[in-house]
Structures are given as structure tokens and as C-alpha cells.
Amino acid sequence: MADSIFVLNGPNLNLLGLREPEIYGSDTLDDIAGMLEDRARDLDLTIDMRQSNHEGHLIDWLHEAQAREAKAVLLNAGAFTHTSLALYDAIRAIRTPVIEVHLSNPLTREEFRHESYVGRAARGTIAGFGALSYLLALEAAARF
């Protein structure tokens, strides 16, 4: 049975392809899921892709990733990246490695986006490459 990778997406990512395409690109979350699933098959992995605008769902899913013995979690927490001590604590509380993912590069954007509580707890961060950020994170997760 193939190892599972949870891909968790936070607030407003359901609007990808429509929301500020000059920043986030024109790929939808479904487009990204398709790219990940194609590459995951080559790596003998499965993708469990989820999105929520609610912080508690992301926390529950991080706990579930550990309970289901997922190989890794790719987490694009959206704006919760910069505000959520609860996500920081949840990542620290599980053994499953978490890779922080961003479509844009937060360090080139507004000052408040330069702080990442998720990044402080994650194994690593991949940012600034649009949809390719997710594929690069998947490649890293495959090596855990």
C-alpha cells in the first residue's frame, strides 16, 4: 500500500484561480490536486487533499495525519500562517513531518506576512514558485 501524504489548505485557497491571480497564479486547487496526484503515482504515494476556511479543521486534520500514520503533511495555512499559535502547537504536538507551502513568497510581501508560526514548527518551507511549490514539497516529502 502506498504511503499517504496529507495536503492541507487553509482559508481562501478555495478561491485559487480567481483570487489575485497576479499573486497566486491561475491554477485552481483542483488543478494543483491533479498535478500532485499524477506525480504521487510516480512516487508510489497517495494524496489526501483537503481545504478549510476554519482553523480547527486544520488542527484536527494534523492530528488525523499522525493517527493514520501519514508519511508527511504539506500545509498551506494561508493567513493562519502568520497568526495561529494553535497551528504551531498542533504541528509541534505530532511526529508526522510537516512542510510549509506557499504559492507566493511571503518575504516579498507585506511586513505582517514575514512572520510564520507554521514555519517555526515545520520541517521546512517551500515558497514563491506558484503551483510548483506544492510539487517541490511533495518531492521533499517522498524522501522522508
Q: Which residues are catalytic?
A: 24, 102
Q: Let me know the angle formed at the C-alpha of 80 by 38 and 59, rounded to the nearest 5 degrees.
A: 70
Q: How many angstroms separate the CA atoms of 129 and 15, rounded?
A: 18
Is residue 53 classed exposed, middle or buried when 0-12, 13-18 and 19+ CB atoms within 10 A define those classes? middle
* Contact assessment for residue 126 and residue 133, using Cβ atoms and an 8 Å cutoff: yes
Q: Which residues pair with 53 in a beta bridge?
A: none
Residue identified by cell 512516487 is: 43
Q: How many angstroms separate the CA atoms of 68 and 123, rounded?
A: 19
